[in-house]
Structure 1
Amino acid sequence: MDVRLLATNLYSAAAGATEREFIFSGFVAAVGTFIAAALGGWDVSLKLLAYMMFADYVTGVLGAIKCKNVNSDVMFWGGIRKGIVMLVIFLAVHLDQFIGGNAPIFRTLAIYFYAGREGLSLIENFGVLGVPWPPAIKNALEQLKQKGENQK
């Protein structure tokens, strides 16, 4: 086995076969690192929120396709709303730094709040798509809906 060929293959697999691939990969890595640091780190709670946001967007589009009411304006503003959520988390990270504590209190509160909202939106989208839910979850959501309607 030729060690030089093996080294070349490993290098091109890691860095890219061309200079453009190498530069693009480096750029994506730098931007991703900056964003993760600005959001307080790429931990489990932020990953969960990001995955839930992605799943909500995809299931929302699928639900709109199923109901034959796809609207690019609604999709655009839904994406903008998810970007604003990340901006709120960014501000919460800086608020935590401002108060000087080592615990990310505001960041955690923001992530959990928005994860809850995304979860409810996912459940709604799954309902539109016809995904059945256990009766306990349906009853709890119905009670929340009735409480919300009574407060109007």
Structure 2
Amino acid sequence: MQCKDWALSAKSMHISVLTVFSAAGAAILSALGGWDTSLQFLIGIMAVDYLLGILIALIWHKFQKTADGTFESNASLKGLLRKMSVLLVVYVAVQLDVVANTGGYLRTAVILFFIANEGFSVIENLGIMGVPMPDAVKNAFAVIKSKAENNE
């Protein structure tokens, strides 16, 4: 095989892999009700919370999910599985909205609930790191949680 043929084959394979990942991503986002602002914020704050948990375990050694507060891959994996479970609950809410014809009402309530939970966790993690948090930010997550609970 000539170098030129190999390069074309590798490029074609690269495009095929990207196409598969793009299609899978589109299918997942569709199943979660679309890539709107609320889902973007939920996934973003979940990522921030996860990364802060890793930093707290690696640097501050005050991670609350392990006996000695340090990083453990098992605890990290459990954290990822919890985050994926949150997205599974969002998927169930989307399907319930379809069945009950509620127009996204349940999905919105579920996403707001989890945004509030993740937000409180981020605030807690920042507190462990010694970062002061304005009351306005804390109150904003309390309002979001209250709104989600009132939608239920």
TM-score (norm 1): 0.75
- Partner in structure 2 of residue 128 of structure 1: 128
- Counting only pairs closer than 5 Å after superposition, residues 66-145 of structure 1 correspond to structure 2 as 66-68=59-61, 69-101=70-102, 103-134=103-134
For 1:130 and 1:26, the matched residues in 2 are separated by 44
CA contact (8 A) 2:38 2:111 kept: yes
Cα deviation for residue 134 of structure 1 reads 2.4
CA contact (8 A) 2:54 2:71 kept: yes
Helix, strand or coil at the partner of 2:87: helix
* CA offset digits 1:82-135 (Å, max 9, x no partner): 00000000000000000123x201100110000000000000111122212225
Identical aligned residues as a percent: 40
- Partner in structure 2 of residue 29 of structure 1: 22
Q: How many residues align?
A: 124
TM-score (norm 2): 0.75
For 1:137 and 1:94, the matched residues in 2 are separated by 32
Runs of 5+ in structure 1 lacking a partner? Answer: 1-16, 142-152
CA contact (8 A) 1:66 1:129 kept: no
For 1:35 and 1:90, the matched residues in 2 are separated by 9
For 1:24 and 1:140, the matched residues in 2 are separated by 41
Equivalent position amino acid for 2:81 in 1: I
For 1:77 and 1:86, the matched residues in 2 are separated by 14
- Partner in structure 1 of residue 38 of structure 2: 45
Aligned CA RMSD, in angstroms, stands at 2.0
Computing the radius of gyration over CA atoms, which structure comes out larger, 1 or 2? 1
Helix, strand or coil at the partner of 1:18: helix
Helix, strand or coil at the partner of 2:131: coil
For 2:101 and 2:36, the matched residues in 1 are separated by 20
The 4+ residue runs of structure 1 with deviation greater than 4 A are: 135-141
* CA offset digits 1:122-150 (Å, max 9, x no partner): 00111122212225667999xxxxxxxxx
Cα deviation for residue 67 of structure 1 reads 2.5
Equivalent position amino acid for 2:83 in 1: K
Runs of 5+ in structure 2 lacking a partner? Answer: 1-9, 62-69, 142-152
- Partner in structure 2 of residue 11 of structure 1: none
For 2:71 and 2:18, the matched residues in 1 are separated by 34
